[in-house]
A and B are shown apart, each in its own frame.
Chain A
Amino acid sequence: MTDPAAAPPVLALRGLRKQFGQKVAVDSLSLDVPAGSMLGLLGPNGAGKTTTLAMATGLLRPDAGTAWVLGADVWQNPAEAKARMGVLPDGIRMLDRLTGAELLRYTGLLRGMAEADVVSRTGDLLEALGLADARDTLVVDYSAGMRKKIGLACALIHAPRLLILDEPLEAVDPVSGETIRQILRSFVNGGGTVVLSSHVMELVESMCDRVAIVAEGRLLAHGPLDDVRAGLSLQQRFLTLVGAHDLGTETLAWLRSS
């Protein structure tokens, strides 16, 4: 890996470590994401994906290590680093007693954008994500999929260089899912960089050009999609790396109805 100061990758994680009590959630994890790539972050439940992303976005202070966004240290120079990334966190409440339109306006103004830009982009985003009808409904009354979409709109409104998305397509219907895929593809084509975590191999295989696989807080594999796959399907490769848990024929035998 290169020195982050010399030729900055868009996102550089260096020796990130986090321990909760006795459990090491993330263990000296380092990762570079080059510009213009879309990286799929894979890992079984509890692998430390969300913890890693929280430390990369400034929500959780790492015990050791740090993260750089376009050369700005998230923990030393948070204002600069945060200005360049848009984040869709997972499992965190939104300010849900605002309407969709109010939430977008709020996000834009907190980002320090000019009011005219905020207003026009709010309309564009609501239209593109199919939320125009729900613009005056409180986010608390949105469905899970609609919340994902408004969260994505909040991450996009300031036109960041880097998008960090935790489970972006979870609970989203296939039609909106296709919309989101299109948005992300054109974002990358326009020079943007995306890091997304997912459990859906199909999504990662069809969208991402790079893959990182973590388990038990460690990086097991990382690189271009085809290198990581090494001729297998991503599903097979993932199971080989993480350690498949093959059920014998007699396990849960009592489940058989006949």
Chain B
Amino acid sequence: MVALLVSLRWRQLRHQLSRNPWMIVTLIITGMIALGLLAGLTAGLVALRFAAPQGAVTAIVLTGSVIVLGWWIGSILVSADDSLAPERFALLPVTAPALLPGFVVAGATTIGGIGTTVALLLMLLGWSVSLPALLTALIMIPVAVVTCVLGARVVSGLLAGWLARRSTRDLVLTLGVLLAASSGLILNLGIGALTKVGDVGEAFTTVADIAAWTPFGAVFGVSASAAQGDLLTSALRLLIALATVVILWVASQRLLATRLVSPIQSSGGGRVRSGRLLDRMLPATSSGAIAARSLRYFRRDPRQLVNIVMLLLLPAIFIGIALMNGLQEESIGFGPAITLIPAINALLAGTIVQMAIAYDNDAVAMHILTGVSGAADRAGRLLGFGLIAVPVTIVLCVATCLLAGRPDLLPGSLGAALGLTAIAAGAGAWVGSFLPGRAPAPEANPFGRGSSGGVQSLLAMIIIGPITLALGAPALGFAIAAIWNPVLGAVSLACGIAFGGLALWGGTVLGGKILDRRWPEVLADVSSES
């Protein structure tokens, strides 16, 4: 059974790869990032091993705990392995005890599982400070991997029923992204707190000592106390680590048994309010209808809701970081530079517009069947995005100018933000017509792989970026100059509106022409399974 499930998983991966060359490229890039992280870990461990052997132990306990917690928490975010979902086995005469070992081994032999194992093996470098530590660490490697995999199964299993309701899914998604996006801010706070503690090393040692007693750190705590020759502590921690595995095993077996007889079915949300006001406000043309539909999807499609939340959140985070650093340095005011922060939304604008068709997936066939012109499609999507982006940008610009205490900088701030956002959106409308990217299917877990659009989107960013910088240079340049000479802010605003309008018009016309010519190919692109 174990071998069967593992080979099933790998065969599925192989079929996915052979069907879609973009997936291979994505896999290679992911693999290189993982290799980079592992190389960093190795370098750090080797350095610590020789410079501060005791520090190496602390570092390993902390890194290990973070890896285990990453598996547990990450399982909420990453779609919990749909290829081996318990529901798929509900019709087969198999029991949970027979399936679970196979699921665990299959989970451990994923790319993430193999990466984790390699990381654990590399940690032996650090454990080589003492022979008992090295030996216990070697023995604990399988225990650590099993703790990771089982914990992830239990967490996702516990939440699965709850996440099957669309309203909760949307809520968790939004909260998750908010949290992930604010992590920079939290990190900043944490580092700020650490610098106040004074002895950073001491603080880390304390945290590592505590973590070593917890279910997620005990596996590493065993070797840590073995390294200090404290065998009693070591034994106690071993007890915690093993008890964790046993409890997780029993829990995931129970969850699995339940899922096999009562499969979870995603349920919907019933009636919705139809927002007739939106229909009245927008012209009753094909572009108007596409704009209204884009706006509805921004709200009802969790994958796109995230994008819109980010439009507010990304600048807010940067402003937050700027404010905190400003407070720490106790400088006068927060610096007029923060009035330029709203322009950062251009990064998001380009991708949101570029990936619009990918989010529709093959439902975009409706546009092809009705024979709507490519230009109307581009214009409608840009209009829909603009109706959200322009008010958000204006609010952000006014807020930053008030925070900086420089209302006179508002024109420049608006010029840079609106200009760059419009240029990026226009460029996205053009690029999206030949590189539409790829999004997870509408019914799939929105946290799943490819939510950032994969390699096609990366390529698209590489094209959109320089266009935005080149066309946006006047608006941005004059906005910066306005910090010293506020009169130039008006020039920035004029440049932003002029070049932004040009880019929007160009994106609509050029992108529309490409779509008219390539609709069937675009449909094939966005509907191919990734």
B355-366 interface bits toward A, Cβ cutoff 8 Å, 1 = contact, 0 = none: 000001111011
Instruction: Check A141–B369 contact: CB distance below 8 A.
Output: no
CA distance A95 to B372 in the complex (A): 15
Instruction: Check B442–A97 contact: CB distance below 8 A.
Output: yes
Instruction: Check A59–B271 contact: CB distance below 8 A.
Output: no
Stretch at the interface among A105-113, A171-179, A236-244: A105-113
Interfacial chain B residues near A58, Cβ < 8 Å: 368-369, 371, 519-520
Interfacial chain A residues near B290, Cβ < 8 Å: 110
CA distance A111 to B284 in the complex (A): 11
Instruction: Check B520–A110 contact: CB distance below 8 A.
Output: no
Shortest beta-carbon distance from A150 to chain B in Å: 12
B269-310 interface bits toward A, Cβ cutoff 8 Å, 1 = contact, 0 = none: 111111000010000111011101100110011000000000
Instruction: Check B520–A137 contact: CB distance below 8 A.
Output: no
CA distance A138 to B443 in the complex (A): 14
CA distance A114 to B284 in the complex (A): 8
Flag whether A89 is at the interface (Cβ < 8 A): yes
Flag whether A70 is at the interface (Cβ < 8 A): no
A63-78 interface bits toward B, Cβ cutoff 8 Å, 1 = contact, 0 = none: 0000000000000001
Flag whether B268 is at the interface (Cβ < 8 A): yes
Contact residues of B: prevailing secondary structure? helix
Which A residues between 97 and 128 are near B, CB-CB below 8 angstroms? 97-99, 101-102, 105-107, 109-112, 114-115, 118
Interfacial chain B residues near A112, Cβ < 8 Å: 285-286
B493-530 interface bits toward A, Cβ cutoff 8 Å, 1 = contact, 0 = none: 00000000000000000000000100111011000000
Number of residues from A at the complex interface, CB < 8 A: 38
Flag whether B370 is at the interface (Cβ < 8 A): yes
Q: Choose from B273, B289, B296, B369 the contact partner of A82 (Cβ within 8 Å).
A: B369
Interfacial chain A residues near B289, Cβ < 8 Å: 105-106, 109-110
Instruction: Check B274–A136 contact: CB distance below 8 A.
Output: yes
CA distance A93 to B367 in the complex (A): 12
Given contacts A96-B442, A138-B268, is CB(A82)–CB(B371) below 8 Å? yes
Chain A residue at minimum C-beta to C-beta distance from B285 = A109
CA distance A94 to B364 in the complex (A): 8
Q: Which of the listed residues B284, B285, B288, B442 has the most CB atoms from chain A within 10 Å of its own CB?
A: B284
A181-195 interface bits toward B, Cβ cutoff 8 Å, 1 = contact, 0 = none: 000000000000000
Interfacial chain A residues near B366, Cβ < 8 Å: 94-95, 106-107, 110, 154
Instruction: Check A92–B520 contact: CB distance below 8 A.
Output: no
Flag whether A12 is at the interface (Cβ < 8 A): no
Chain B contact residues (Cβ within 8 angstroms of A): what range? 35 or more
Given contacts A92-B362, A93-B363, A94-B366, is CB(A110)–CB(B271) below 8 Å? no
Interfacial chain A residues near B284, Cβ < 8 Å: 109, 114-115, 118
Q: Choose from B271, B285, B296, B373 the contact partner of A102 (Cβ within 8 Å).
A: B296
Flag whether A37 is at the interface (Cβ < 8 A): no
CA distance A102 to B296 in the complex (A): 10
Shortest beta-carbon distance from B469 to chain A in Å: 35
CA distance A37 to B399 in the complex (A): 65
Chain B residue at minimum C-beta to C-beta distance from A108 = B289
Instruction: Check A92–B296 contact: CB distance below 8 A.
Output: no
Shortest beta-carbon distance from A167 to chain B in Å: 15
Shortest beta-carbon distance from B77 to chain A in Å: 22
Interfacial chain A residues near B273, Cβ < 8 Å: 136
Shortest beta-carbon distance from A148 to chain B in Å: 15
Interfacial chain A residues near B279, Cβ < 8 Å: 105
Q: Choose from B274, B363, B524 the contact partner of A96 (Cβ within 8 Å).
A: B363
Chain A residue at minimum C-beta to C-beta distance from B521 = A61
Shortest beta-carbon distance from A197 to chain B in Å: 16
Flag whether A203 is at the interface (Cβ < 8 A): no
Q: Choose from A79, A99, A109 the contact partner of B373 (Cβ within 8 Å).
A: A79
Instruction: Check A138–B272 contact: CB distance below 8 A.
Output: yes
Flag whether A83 is at the interface (Cβ < 8 A): yes
Instruction: Check B269–A138 contact: CB distance below 8 A.
Output: yes
CA distance A81 to B368 in the complex (A): 12
CA distance A78 to B518 in the complex (A): 12
Chain B residue at minimum C-beta to C-beta distance from A75 = B520
CA distance A115 to B290 in the complex (A): 14
Chain A residue at minimum C-beta to C-beta distance from B376 = A110
Interfacial chain A residues near B274, Cβ < 8 Å: 99, 101-102, 136
Interfacial chain A residues near B360, Cβ < 8 Å: 95
Instruction: Check A111–B271 contact: CB distance below 8 A.
Output: no
Flag whether A214 is at the interface (Cβ < 8 A): no
Flag whether A29 is at the interface (Cβ < 8 A): no
Flag whether A51 is at the interface (Cβ < 8 A): no
Instruction: Check A92–B365 contact: CB distance below 8 A.
Output: yes
Instruction: Check B373–A93 contact: CB distance below 8 A.
Output: no
Flag whether A220 is at the interface (Cβ < 8 A): no
Interfacial chain A residues near B372, Cβ < 8 Å: 110
Instruction: Check A57–B369 contact: CB distance below 8 A.
Output: yes
Given contacts A95-B293, A109-B284, is CB(A89)–CB(B369) below 8 Å? yes
Known: A78-B371, A93-B365, A111-B371. 7 other contacts (CB 8 A): A59-B369, A61-B520, A99-B274, A106-B293, A109-B289, A136-B273, A140-B442
Q: Top 10 A-B pairs ranked by shortest CB distance? A: A82-B371, A141-B268, A109-B289, A115-B284, A110-B370, A93-B363, A97-B300, A61-B520, A110-B372, A136-B271
* A and B contact pairs by CB, cutoff 8 A, 30 listed: A59-B520, A60-B520, A61-B521, A79-B371, A81-B371, A82-B369, A82-B370, A93-B361, A93-B363, A95-B293, A97-B300, A97-B301, A97-B442, A98-B296, A99-B272, A102-B274, A102-B296, A106-B292, A106-B366, A109-B285, A109-B288, A109-B289, A110-B286, A111-B370, A112-B285, A112-B286, A118-B284, A138-B268, A140-B268, A141-B269
